[in-house]
A and B are shown apart, each in its own frame.
Chain A
Amino acid sequence: MNGTLPDNGVSRRGFFQLTLGWLAASFAAVATAVATVRFLEPNVVFEPGQRFKAGKPDDYPDGSITFLEAERVFLVRRGNSFRCVSAVCTHLGCTVNRAGRGYHCPCHGSAFNEEGSVESGPAPRGLAWFLVTLSKDNRLLIDKAQSVNSDKYLIV
C-alpha cells in the first residue's frame, strides 16, 4: 500500500471519478430495474371490466335470474327491483350453477340459498352481492368492486 494514495493505490481524483461513475451506473441500474417492474405491470387489462353495463332494465323479465357469462354474475329481477350476485364460489373460485332457488358449486359441493348464504359445503362465506345502479343513459350499471348486503336493491 502506498501511504499517500488512499485505497489500493488509487489517487484522490481517481477515487472521485470511480465513485461518481459507480453512483451514476448504480442509478441507471436501479432506474432500469424500476422501469422493468413498471414494464411488467400491465397498465390496461384485456378482461371484462369490474364496472360494466348490463343493458336496459327492460331486457330482463320480471322474476328472472339471468347468468351473465363474461362477467360471471347472476342478475336477479323481482318486480321493479334489481340486484346482482357473484357466480364465483367463495371456496376456491369455481363458477356456481343455479340449483332450485339457490346456487350449487360443482367443484366441492358448496350449496348456497337464494340469498347467497352458505347452506352446506366447504365455502367459508356466502356469495358476494354487487352494487347495481342506473347509469346516466339508463342502463344497469354493475360494479363488482363494490360489495353490498343482499338486501340492497336497485328500484327502477
Chain B
Amino acid sequence: MHGTSVGKFYAWFTALGLLVGVLVGLGYYRDEYRPWKDYQRRFIREEIRRASTPDQRLLAQSTPVQVRQILLPELNRVDRCTTCHLAVEDPSYGGYPQPLAYHPLHDQHPFDKFGCTVCHRGQGRATNIEDAHGHVPHWDEPMLPQKYIQASCGQCHEASDNPAAPELARGSELFETVGCRGCHKLAGVGGNIGPELDRVGARRSPDWLRQHFITPAAVTPDSGMPPQKFTDTDIDAIVLFMLSQTGAELPGFYASMKVIPSASEGRRLFQQKGCLGCHSMGGQGGKVGPALDDVGLRRTPEWMMQHFRDPQTVSPGSVMPRFGFTEAEARALTDFLVHLRDQKVGLGILGLMGPVDRGRGIFSKYGCAGCHGPEGKGGVPNANAKTAQQVPALTYVADGYTKAELKGIIFKGQREILPLDPHRPAPPLYMPAWGSTIKDAEADDLVAYLFSLKPKGEDLGF
C-alpha cells in the first residue's frame, strides 16, 4: 500500500503540528500578557474599594481595561502614559505610590492639550515601563530627570525672566554673563569657534552636559573649550538651560505660547511702541505723561491692565489714546512696569543708557567674557598661546590701540594666534571676525566700554 511509505512521516506530522500549535499559543500568550493590564486592574480594584455609593461602585466596575491615550496631532505625538498613570488628574490620589500618583495640575497646561512627553520626554506611544520611560536603545528622548524638568518650560517660554521656572532663568542668566556666546551660536547670535547650541538639548544627555562643563576634554577629546569654574548649583542651572535648547519648533497653538506675557516682552513693547515719547523713566523721555519710575508702587496691576485696555475707564480725561493692545501685550507691559523696581528690567532700556553702559551690555550679549574673562580681566586658558597660554585680558587695550584700530580687530578678528611653541598644536581659541554680527553703532559702544576698563588714575604714571 502507498500508505505505508507516507506513514513513516506521520510522526513528523504530529511533531510539526504540535510545534506550530505551541508556537502560535506562545505567541498569542506573550502578546496578550501586558503589564499595564495589571496596573489597570489594580486601579479598578482601588476605585471599587473607595466607592461610597452603589452608583460609584457600578461606574468603577464598568471601567474597561484598555490602552488610554492622549492624542496630540499638532505635536505629532500620542501619549499613552495614562494607560498606567491612571490617576494623574484625581487629587484624591495625592501621595499614592507610582504609577497611581496624582500629578499636581498646571492650570495653563491641561493634559488633554499638552499630554505628558512634551515636558517629561520619554516614549509616549510605548506601553511598557522601560520603553515608555525611554532609557532603551534607539530612543533619543529618555525621560528628563525631575531636577531638570524646568528645561521643558524653555521650549515654549522665554527663559530669561520666567518666575515659574527660576532655575531655567538662572541658567539663562549664567549663559549670557559667563560668555558662552563668544564661541557658540545660539539662535543665530554668537561666535563660531565651538558648535552651535540650537539643538544641544536634544542631542546631549544631562550626564554628558554635566561632564562637559566640568572637563570638556573628558567627553570631546579635541575640545578647546576651557574648563568652567561653576559651583555645583550653577552647573545644574546651566545644564538645565542647555537641555531647554531642543530646537523643537512647536506648531500652531503651542507656538502662540512663545510670546507669553513677560517683563522682558513688556520692555520690548515699551521701546517699540514709543512710550518714552510721552512718559519718562530715569529722567529721560517725554513730559506729557507722568514719569513711570515708581508706577509699580502707585498702581495695582489690575489698574494698569484696565488702563492699557482703555485709559478713559480708570483715569477719565487722560490724553493717552487707546492703543488697542492685545490682552497678552497689556499683561506684558503691566509685568514690565510692576517689575521696574527690579533693576535688571529697568536698566535694560537702551535708550536710557550711556555708551559705556550700552557697551557693557554688548560685551555681555556677544559673550566676550567667555574668552576674555568677566569685565575683560582675562585668565582664560588657551593652550600654547604666546600670551602666557591665556586669552589676553582687555584691561589696558586703551593704551595699545586707537578706537578705530580696536573696532577693526573686532570686525576682522584674528584667526592666527601666535604659538608659544611652534611645534605643538595651534592654540584652540582665536578671535572670530564679528563684522557680520556686531552692528557699527554697537561696536562704537563696545569700544567705549573697553576703553573704560582701564583703572582710573593710572595714566598719571606716564
Contacts and interface: CB of A to CB of B under 8 A. Distances in A.
Given A10-B3, A10-B7, A24-B21, A43 B14 contact: no
Contacts of A11: 7
A155 interface: no
**Contact-residue bracket for chain A:** 20 to 34
B18 interface: yes
Interface in B13-71: 13-14, 16-18, 20-21, 23-25, 27-28, 31, 66-67, 69, 71
Nearest to A53: B112
Contact of B89 (A10, A24, A32, A137): A137
Interface string A28-72: 100110110000000110101100110000000000000000000
Contacts of B3: 8-10, 14
* Chain B interface residue bracket vs A: 20 to 34
A127 to B, nearest CB: 25
A28 B20 contact: yes
Most B CB contacts (10 A, CB to CB) among A13, A52, A136 go to A136
B188 interface: no
B282 interface: no
B71 A46 contact: yes
A31 B25 contact: yes
Contact of A9 (B1, B16, B71): B1
B438 to A, nearest CB: 47
B28 A35 contact: yes
B297 to A, nearest CB: 31
A43 B17 contact: no
Interface string A15-29: 001101111110110
A48 B70 CA distance: 10
A123 B314 CA distance: 54
A25 B20 contact: yes
Chain A, interface SS category: helix
Contacts of B327: none
A31 B91 contact: no
A56 to B, nearest CB: 9
B21 A44 contact: no
A24 B4 contact: no
Contact of A21 (B1, B16, B80, B110): B16
Interface string A119-143: 0000000000000000111010000
Which of B3, B4, B10, B91 counts the most chain A CB atoms within 10 A?
B10
Contacts of A4: none
A21 B13 CA distance: 6
A9 B5 CA distance: 11
B112 A52 contact: yes
Given A2-B1, A9-B4, A18 B110 contact: no
A43 B67 contact: yes
Interface string B205-238: 0000000000000000000000000000000000
Contact of A136 (B67, B89, B107): B89
Contacts of A27: 21, 24-25
A24 B14 contact: yes
8 contacts: A13-B10, A18-B10, A20-B14, A20-B17, A31-B28, A34-B28, A136-B90, A137-B89
**5 A-B pairs with least C-beta separation:** A24-B17, A21-B17, A24-B21, A17-B10, A9-B3
Given A28-B20, A44-B66, A44-B67, 10 more contacts: A9-B1, A9-B3, A14-B3, A21-B17, A25-B17, A28-B17, A31-B24, A35-B24, A44-B69, A136-B89
